[in-house]
Amino acid sequence: MKTFDICIVGSGAGGSPIAYELSRAGFSVAVFEKGAHYNKTDFSKDEIAVCRRDIYTPDLKDEQHTIVTYNSDGTEEYFSGADEQWSFWNGSMLGGSSNLMSGYFHRLKPDDFKQLSVYGAIDGANVADWPISYSDLEPYYTKVEQIVGVSGRVVEHAHQEPRSTKDFAYPPTEEQPMSGWIDEACKKLGFTSIPIPRAILPYNTELRDGCSYSNFCGSYGCATDAKGSARAALLQRIKYDLFADSFVYKIDADSKQVNQIHYYDKNHKSHSIKAKIFVISAQAHESVRLLMNSKNSDHPDGIGNTHKQLGKNLIFSAGGSGSGRILAKHLDHKKRKELFTRGLFVNRSIQDWYSYSKNNRVIKGGTIDFLYEHANPIVRAIRELRGNDTQVLYGRKLQKRLEFAFKESRVLKFEIFNDWLPTDRCYIGVDDHVRDKFGVNVGKLHLHAHSQDLEVGKYLASKAQMVLEELGAVEIESNISAAPPPNLIAGGCRFGDDPKTSVLDSSCRVHGLDNLYVCDASFMPTGGSVPYTWTIYANSFRVADIILQRLKNG
Amino acid sequence: MKTRRDMLKSAALMPMLLLASTSCSKPPQIKDATFEDTVKILLDDLFPKTDTLPSSSQLNILDYINRVLHSKFTSDDDKLFLKNGATWLNESAVERFDRSFHLLDSKQRGLVIEAILLKRWGESFIISLSSYYFEALLGEPIYGSNIDMVGWKWLNHIGGKPQPTKALF
C-alpha cells in the first residue's frame, strides 16, 4: 500500500489550501471527497434541480443527522432529520459547499480573536480568546485575496480591519444601481455603507473566466469558475490523487499517532490508506462525528476527546434576514430602469455596529449585508402565495399579485450576521441508535441559542430596517430567530493552548497526536460576526505553512 | 448548500409532511373521480386562462404533476399528501354538494375551495399544488410546461444561462 505524504479528508475550503500548498511543494497528496467530482461544465441554472430539489446533498433517508432542541422548561425534544426533512448537509461534491456559496467575504476583526478579554465573560456562554491573533492570520487573509481571488474596494470605516496591502487583489464586480441608492440612504442616516468583498473574479484569469453576471449565483455551481470555490481556485491547479465518491468512516490511531484511515467507495467496499500526516476537514459537525466514531482502546471516547471537549461549543452564525419591497410606481423612468437592472450585484454592507454600547457595556454586534431577493422565479412566486396578508391567494387575485410582485416592484433583502455564543447546551455527538446507509452512527446535534444572540440580531435588524424605510420600501419585515443556518456551522474542535479546555493546539493539531490535524471551521472558539469561509481558507493556508515546514524538516 | 432561503422552503413543507404522516382517517373512495379529473379542473380554477397566460391544460401542467408523482426526487410523504389532498377535496365536494369536485359548476367549486382553505390540510394542499404549478410554469422549459418561455414572458423574467440540457426527472 502506497504511503502518501499527506491525506486530506474533505475537499472544501478547509482541506484544499493544504492540498494546494503541499502539492505545489512536491509532496504526494491524497484528497478524499464523499461527493462527486463536478466541473464547471456540469453546472446549469436549473431552478428546479438546484433550489427545489437537493441534488447536491445526500438523500436524508440514506444519510441524516438527528437533532435535539430544548423546550422552555428545559426538557429535550428529539427530531429525526429524515422524518422532519431537516438537513444539515451542504455541498456534497469536490470543493464542498464553497461551490454553492454567494462568496460574501469579510475578514474577522482583531477583537474577534480576543472576545473574552475585550468584551468580558457572558453568563451562560463559553466565550474564549483564540490562541492566535489577527496579525497571525492577516498574511493569510491577503493570500486568499490573491490566490482564491477576492474582489472589492477598501473603504475606511470605524471597524475597518488593518491590512498589509492597500487594496484588494481584484477590483469590484460590477454593481447594481441599488448600491448607490443604499449609499445615499445611509448617508442621510449617518451610517457608513461599504462595498462587500466577493470571492468572485471580475475578469478572466489563466484557468477561470470572469463573472458572467448570470443573475443566479448563491446556491448554484458557477459555470465560469469565477466563484472562488476550492475546486475552481485551488484543486484544478494542482496534481493530486483524488478519491471522489469515497466516505472516510474511521481513523486508526494509537496513543501517539494516526496510522491509517478506512473508507467506503461508492459500491460500499471498504479500503484503507496510509499517510505520514492526516488532515480532517469534513465540515465542523462531520469532522467531530468521524473523530467520535473512531474510538478504540487508546481513545475510548473518540479521538481528541481525552478531556471530553470534542463536539463541545458548536456554533452557527446568529442573526437572520429581512426584506422590504421597493415600488416602481413611485419612480421616474431612469430610476425604474435602475431598479430592474438584472444580473449585477448589490454588494453593500454596514458594519457600524460591529460593536456598540448599551447600558454602559460594550456589546459585540455584527454585520448587515444587503442583496436582492434570490432570482429563482419559482421561489419568488411561492413567496407571494399569501400576498401581503395571511390568507392564501388563488385565481385572478393571485395572478395580479404575481404581476405586481415581478413587474411593478422588487424586494431588497438584508442578512444579519452576529455571534452565536458558544454554550454548554449546543454541541454535537453521535447517535447510538441511528445509522446511515453505510452502517455508521450518524451525528446528533444539540441546538441552543443564547438569549444575547437574538437581542443583538434584533438590534442590527432594526438598523437595517431604517435603511429600507429611507429607501421608501413597503412591506418591511425581519425574521431574527434561533434557527441555526446549516451552511454556517463551526466549532466542536476548539483550538487552544490548554488540552483540558480544547481539542486542538494552536496549529490545529489534535492535542497528544503527532500527525493528525483538523482544519475546517471546527477549530473556531468563537465565530465572529461575518460568514466564515474567508477565515476557513486563511487558517488552512496558515496550517499548510506549518505542515510544509514540518515535512521539509523531515 | 443549505441557505437561510432554503430553510424557509423546508419550513413551508413541514406542516404538509406532518399531515401526510399523521392523517388519522382512511379517505373514502370517490368512485367517479380520478386524481387526474380532480387536479386538472382544480388547476384551471387556481390558475385561470388569461389573455397572456394559457390554461393549465394547454401548458400540460398535469403531465408535470404526474412526473413529480413518479420522481425519485419527491418524497413518499409528499406524493401521498398530493393524492390524499385530491381525495379529501372530493370528499368535501361530496359532503357539501353530493357530487365529485370535477362534476360541480364553477360557483360550487369556488365554494369548496374556499371551505378547504379554512382547514389546515386544505391550505397545505393548495400551497403544495400551487408550488408544483409554479415549478412547471416558471421552471426551465425543458421540463415541458414553460412552453416558449410563456411563464417567464408573463412575468418579465429572464432565465439563467447556461440552461440545463437534461431534465432532472
Domain boundaries, chain B: 33-155
CB A344, CB A294: distance < 8 Å? no
Q: How far is B90 from chain A (nearest CA, A)?
A: 19
Query: What pLDDT score does B1 carry?
Result: 38
Beta bridge partners of A320: A416, A480
The interface pTM score, or ipTM, of the predicted complex is 0.93
Coil vs helix vs strand at A551: helix
- Whether the pLDDT of residue A473 is over 60: the answer is yes
Rounded Cα distance, A97 and B2, in Å: 9
Rounded Cα distance, A531 and A521, in Å: 11
Query: What pLDDT score does B4 carry?
Result: 37
C-alpha cell at A18: 493544504
Tens digit of each residue's pLDDT (9 = 90 or more) over A241-260: 999 999 999 999 999 999 99
Instruction: Write out the DSSP string of A483-508.
Output: PPPTTSEE-SS-B-S-TTT-SB-TTS
Rounded Cα distance, B88 and B113, in Å: 11
Q: Give the pLDDT mean for A429-442.
A: 98
- Whether the pLDDT of residue A290 is over 70: the answer is yes
Q: Does the distance separating the beta carbons of B13 and A90 come in below 8 Å? A: no
In 10 A of CB B154, how many CB atoms? 20
Query: What pLDDT score does A132 carry?
Result: 98
Rounded Cα distance, A441 and A290, in Å: 9
Tens digit of each residue's pLDDT (9 = 90 or more) over B85-120: 999 999 999 999 999 999 999 999 999 999 999 999
Q: Give the pLDDT mean for A277-301.
A: 98
Query: What pLDDT score does A551 carry?
Result: 94
Q: Which residue of B138, B155, B165 is in closest CB contact with A407? A: B155
- Whether the pLDDT of residue B9 is over 50: the answer is no
Query: What pLDDT score does A387 carry?
Result: 84
> Pairing state of beta strands A193-195 and A315-327?
unpaired
In 10 A of CB A445, how many CB atoms? 28
Among left, alpha and beta (phi > 0; psi -120 to 50; other), residue A397 is: alpha
DSSP state for residue B72 in the 8-state scheme: T
For B:30-49, CB contacts with A below 8 A are 45-48
Instruction: Please list, in sequence order, all residues whose beta carbon lies within 8 angstroms of the beta carbon of residue A434, skipping any fewer than 6 positions away.
Output: A64, A66, A80, A441, A442, A444
CB pairs under 8 A between A and B: 152
DSSP state for residue A124 in the 8-state scheme: T
Largest CA distance in chain A: 74
- Average the pLDDT over each of A48-52, A353-357, B24-28, B59-63 and give the range with the smallest value: B24-28
Q: How far is A300 from chain B (nearest CA, A)?
A: 33
Q: Give the pLDDT mean for A80-89.
A: 95
Helices B120-138 and B35-46, interaxial angle, to 10°? 80
Residue A390 pLDDT grade (very low, low, confident, very high; cuts 50, 70, 90) = confident
Q: How large a percentage of chain A has pLDDT more than 70? A: 100
Nearest alpha-carbon partner for A427 in A70, A64, A27, A19: A70
- Considering only alpha carbons, which residue of chain A is nearest residue B118? A391
Q: Is the dihedral angle over the CA atoms A455, A460, A466, A468 positive or is it negative?
A: negative
